[in-house]
Amino acid sequence: MHVEPEEHDRVAVVLASTYEFVSRNRTYIIGAVAALIVLVVAVSLILRAQAAERREIRSQMAEAVLLLQGMEYGRASLQLESLLERHSGGAIGRELRTLAATAAFMSGNHDRARDLYERILKTAPAGSYEAQTAREGLAAVHETRGEFVQAAEIYEALAPEAFSEENEPLLLAHAARCYEMAGRVADVRRIGEMLQAEFAETNEYWRREGQRLVARARTLEMHPHMLEETTQPPPVPPVEGLFDEG
């Protein structure tokens, strides 16, 4: 299949807009996880899908990324599930599952998202981007369901394996938030102290965040009744017609 130059330009536009999407949403747990997954897969498909027979799939995956960015999660799910039925093997299959898991998660279909993340972990190479993002996705599923200890433990275990220096403290911060929601104040303090020690001379923001967590833990220890205000599970986003037409 002949690919016009405009196709390459289109993919470049998708990547640029995806970066803006990540920047806008990185402060929200669900948005941050989904944005990270979308960015990783968008970059990965450009690097890996070089064969001519895969270019059409790449184009359709780029369209799905745009649907996710536009918060059209139901439509994105339909498109990605359809692609998965036809292309479920190899690296492309794992990338499609990652995107489909994102769409399922964002539309509130957490059972489907968890199933896809677990299938990715069975086939993705250990230590790969797909494996890490699948584990982050599972942590997000646990957190949304109010399973805060499981979420915190995954986030904390992932931190030393982060692919970037920026992501390591972010994962620790996610873990601290979940430990607080679980009422495990000692773990909040421990992670705060860890951030202070590891980033005392390299990152002022995370050093101060460590200080804030330690202070927060001290406050909760002095006023345990405050935990009742924080240990409620977050609301589950509604399912946006995952299997509806259009």
Taking Cα atoms as reference points, which of 106, 91, 88, 90 lies closest to residue 31? 106
Q: What is the pLDDT of residues 203-217, one digit of tens each?
A: 899 999 999 999 999
> What is the structure's pLDDT at 76?
92
The answer to the question of residue 187 being in a domain is yes
C-alpha angle 2-60-14 in degrees, rounded to nearest 5: 95
From the centroid of its chain, how far is CA 231?
22
Say if residue 20's pLDDT is above 60: no
Domain of 190 in residue numbering reads as 146-231
Write the CB contacts of 116 (distance below 8 Å, at least 6 apart in sequence): 97, 98, 100, 101, 104
Write the CB contacts of 89 (distance below 8 Å, at least 6 apart in sequence): none
Write the CB contacts of 109 (distance below 8 Å, at least 6 apart in sequence): 77, 239, 242
Q: How confident is the model at residue 244 (pLDDT cuts 50, 70, 90)?
A: very low
Are 139 and 152 contained in the same domain? Answer: no
- Domain boundary at 145, 160, 190, which? 145
- Domain boundary at 145, 169, 195, which? 145
Q: What is the pTM of this model?
A: 0.70
Output the domain CATH number for residue 27. Answer: 1.25.40
Average pLDDT over residues 160-180: 90
The answer to the question of residue 242 being in a domain is no
The answer to the question of residue 46 being in a domain is yes
